[in-house]
Amino acid sequence: MVSGDLREIKQKMKAKTDAARAPNQSAKAQAHLSTKDYYNRHGYFIAPNLVPATLIDELLNHYHQKIVPSKEPFFRQTTNKYEINTMTDHGYVAQSFLDIHGYSKSPKFSSAALEILFSAPIINMLSKLTGSSSHNLMNSVLFDVNAETVPHKDCWYLDTIPSGNLTAAWIALEDIDERAGRFFVMTETMQEDFLKGEKDLSHSAWLQRIKVYFDEHQDKVIAPALKKGDIIFWNSKTIHGALPTQDRRFSRKSLTAHYIPSQFKFGNLFAVKDFIEYRDYKGHKYYCNQPEYSRRNKMKYAFKTAVYDSPGLLRFFRKFQRWGIGINKIG
């Protein structure tokens, strides 16, 4: 629920593009600490050439053959709505695709995604970062172009219980041209608290506080040059987002995923979601939060979006969520 109604924040970010376009200054620093120590200190870790090109090519082949030409509405993280594909002037899908690992109507596409998301290099790296032997996949998002996601922390939306043990991954599916708009993290921001115990703080007000911090701490922004197969991992409490696109001729094909160590419960800053049901893929557990399109689901998530920025209404409906009735995920 990060994008969609936050155009003003995005517009203000454009003025900060040059300052935030940090070089890949992490490689030397990472070499002096263990993987886990670096991750725990800085809140992120860059792993170059981690995903084999063959796995990426398989995913993109199914994407171009099945998903791009589809007339089926997909749920979009960028708008929080079910929409058919909208093509840009340069032939890319403008919207993102949420939970692609659970597309039952496109099983080969979803299987290709799961092969990447549960590939041995990723699973082994997650264990190095967290110290846990197994991890559950909680969501995935595929981007054809830059969504210009505003600075935020994942813990508002999804995290472990207790908070702070979720690890996310941003996987480059192609060599990312800087003009496409780089993904960024802000180093050493895990301890920054923007909620400050205010239970009635709205989502938009929380994002605005983070935006102010982003503007005032440009020295913390890390926006590395990533090539096909590279991954940047980050913690649920690390500020991250995307720099503005400079040239829309360039795609920015990428895949994000969020994982929790298997021993933790799932939730966010506001709720424990112990009602979820996991599925299995080759011995790994994964969750599909976002159901595929139906008229009922379209109405359900239109309602969810309408109440999302009202803390009082959200608390009310989360009570029904805990009782196991109503919308399966309020946020």
Give residue 242's pLDDT.
97
Instruction: Give the tens place of pLDDT for each residue, 49-79.
Output: 999 999 999 999 999 999 999 999 999 887 8
pLDDT for residue 128 is more than 60: yes
Q: Which H or E element spans position 232?
A: strand 231-235
Beta strand 183-186 with 97-98: parallel, antiparallel or unpaired?
Answer: unpaired
Report yes or no: 29 and 38 within 8 Å, Cβ to Cβ: yes
- More confident call, 183 vs 4: 183
Give residue 16's pLDDT.
44
Distance in angstroms (rounded) separating the CA atoms of residues 329 and 245? 31
Stretch 82-97: mean pLDDT:
96
pTM here is 0.85
Q: How many residues does the chain have?
A: 331
Distance in angstroms (rounded) separating the CA atoms of residues 292 and 290? 7
In CATH, which of 3.40.50.300, 3.40.630.10, 3.40.50.1980, 2.60.120.620 is domain 7-322?
Answer: 2.60.120.620
The tokens of 235 are what?
């913690």
Q: Report whether the peptide linkage leading into residue 73 is cis, meaning its omega lies within 30 degrees of zero.
A: no
Stretch 192-203: mean pLDDT:
92
Q: Which residue matches tokens 């659970």?
A: 102
Q: What separation, in Å, do the N-terminal and C-terminal C-alpha atoms of the chain show?
A: 8
Give residue 80's pLDDT.
81
What's the one-letter identity of residue 212? V
Report yes or no: 243 and 121 within 8 Å, Cβ to Cβ: no
Least confident interval from 143-152, 237-246, 296-305: 296-305
pLDDT for residue 324 is more than 50: no
Distance in angstroms (rounded) separating the CA atoms of residues 216 and 212? 6
- Dihedral, CA of residue 285, residue 44, residue 20 and residue 60, to nearest 10: -30
Give residue 330's pLDDT.
33
DSSP string, 28-73: HHHHTS-HHHHHHHHSEEEETT-S-HHHHHHHHHHIIIIITT--S-
Instruction: Round the average pLDDT of the chain to a whole number and report it.
Output: 87
Least confident interval from 12-21, 113-122, 156-165: 12-21
